Amino acid sequence: MTQLKSISASKSHLGTVRKLNEDSCLALPERGLWVVADGMGGHQAGDYASQLIVNTLGSVGEFRSLGEFVGEVESLLLEVNARLVDDTADLPPGSVIGSTVVALLTFNRQAAFLWAGDSRVYRLRGEELRQLTRDHSEIEELIAAGEVTRETAEDHPSANVITRAVGALTAEDAFEIGITDLRPGDRFLLCSDGLYRVVSSEEMRRHLAALPPDEVCHRLIELALARQCSDNVTVISVEFSASD
């Protein structure tokens, strides 16, 4: 089976309000791994948590299968979770040092996506942009229960409350994992919530369809900044094609 090749780019910005960028990202195309982590705003050391995630995952090696690859990434993230929990031992009760995470892993003609929190991965296939992840958030639970409509969700008091993060995971409530096939022409977008709160999915689709990865990242962050995004914003764009 013909292998696919990838080109990718990543970009992160602190936004127009924050003085510290608590987002971190990792692009290892030679390993088939891309990661966005968003340190939890309002908590202690969110930047430390997100950097610990990408620094730890930067050590991944080569694997014989996608399942083995996913297992190693999940194991490393659980180690980070345990370390962050330990780091709160001397802090006031209820303190959390945490970060969301979303990772795209590829092996041969398969891709897996793993996440905790509300950072997202989208896939553009043909003309269709599909959000592959579902936010771990209170508002998403309310929408699923029919108590809130998606149209009114943005202004709800629970709009920014996440329900899972590395640093606050339990054995019962850890990561979600999805698997999909990988086709020539597939384009993926990983991002923190700083992007999708001010840039629409249709705008993402148009940029992904028309531009190479480096321009996708540049233009989307430029668009977010023009709209005075109040949060940090991070984007990774990955494009797959058939090998020559």
pLDDT in tens, 65-104: 999 999 999 999 999 999 999 988 888 887 889 999 999 9
What is the percent of the chain with per-residue pLDDT over 70, rounded to a whole number? 93
Which 8-state DSSP code applies to residue 155? Answer: G
Burial 83-101 (b: 16+ CB within 10 A, else e): ebbebbeeeeeeebbbbbb
- Higher per-residue pLDDT: 127 or 137: 127
* Residue type (1 letter), 238: V
Q: Is residue 143 predicted with pLDDT exceeding 80?
A: no
Whole-number pLDDT of residue 50: 97
Whole-number pLDDT of residue 211: 98
- Contact (CB, 8 A) for 4 and 181: no
Whole-number pLDDT of residue 8: 98
Among the listed residues 123, 139, 120, the one whose alpha carbon sits nearest the alpha carbon of residue 192: 120
Q: Where residue 202 falls among pLDDT bands split at 50, 70, 90?
A: very high
Whole-number pLDDT of residue 152: 65
Mean pLDDT of the chain: 91
Whole-number pLDDT of residue 69: 97
Question: Rounded to whole angstroms, how far apart are CA atoms 99 and 168?
Answer: 9
| Tokens coding 221 | 């962050």
Question: Rounded to whole angstroms, how far apart are CA atoms 14 and 94?
Answer: 27
Whole-number pLDDT of residue 146: 73
What are the boundaries of each domain within the chain? 4-135+162-242
Of 104-108, 134-138, 211-215, minimum mean pLDDT range: 134-138
Q: Where residue 110 falls among pLDDT bands split at 50, 70, 90?
A: very high
Question: Rounded to whole angstroms, how far apart are CA atoms 56 and 183?
Answer: 29
Options 3.40.190.10, 3.60.40.10, 3.30.70.370, 3.30.750.24; CATH of 4-135+162-242: 3.60.40.10
- Contact (CB, 8 A) for 241 and 198: no
pLDDT in tens, 150-192: 666 666 666 678 899 999 998 777 899 999 999 999 999 999 9
Q: Is residue 205 predicted with pLDDT exceeding 60?
A: yes
Whole-number pLDDT of residue 106: 97
- Quote the Cα angle for 238-32-120, to 5°: 50
Question: Rounded to whole angstroms, how far apart are CA atoms 4 and 183?
Answer: 8
What is the percent of the chain with per-residue pLDDT over 90, rounded to a whole number? 74
